[in-house]
Amino acid sequence: MDPQRKRQLKAAGKAEVKRRSTALYAALDAANPVKPGDPGWSDNYKEGVARKHWLNRKLPTLWRAQWEPLFVVLPYEVSRWIPHVGGYIQCHGCGTVAPEALPWRAFYWTRCECGNVRWRCVLGWRRMRVRDARSLVPVKLIGRGSIAGEQPGEDAPLS
């Protein structure tokens, strides 16, 4: 590889890192709009972490109206995606976010708003049906802090 090509690849790599970092910082600012150093910042951060813990514990399917006030969605940009428990996918048809994979569940039925993604679990048997896989993208959900300072219950969806 000649030196000119190396410089081009290095510049392209730096630009990609800067673009992804900018997107991540924008998502984190949207999740906690209070500036660091402000007394409310830590409360919002704790609330966002509590929402993420609730999400990991329950693994719910959230329709757009449910997740918009609770989470910020950040798409993963990967060339090869491997589903895992705790990961989420988003349907571009309706905006619903659904678990990529589920642990053992006795009974579980869910679907996205448009019906593109459907989960069925019965006594350990798990099946996910996807009508159009091209409309799905893996995403990361970042918990939003509560600006009004409301206190959610233990099993509440932390709204």
Note the pLDDT tens digit of each residue in 96-118. Answer: 999 988 888 888 888 899 989 99
| 17, pLDDT greater than 60 | yes
Give the separation between CA 48 and CA 55, rounded to whole angstroms: 11
pLDDT at 19: 92
Question: Which residue matches tokens 């630009």?
Answer: 15
Give the separation between CA 106 and CA 124, rounded to whole angstroms: 6
| 7, pLDDT greater than 90 | yes
pLDDT digits (tens, 9 = 90+) for 28-61: 888 888 888 888 888 888 999 999 999 988 889 9
Mean of pLDDT over the chain = 85
| 159, pLDDT greater than 90 | no
Centroid of chain to Cα 118 = 18
Residue boundaries of the structural domains of the chain: 3-143
Token pair for 146: 């509560």
Closest CA to 69 of 86, 87, 51: 51
* Mean predicted confidence (pLDDT) in 74-91: 84
| 154, pLDDT greater than 60 | no
pLDDT at 156: 52
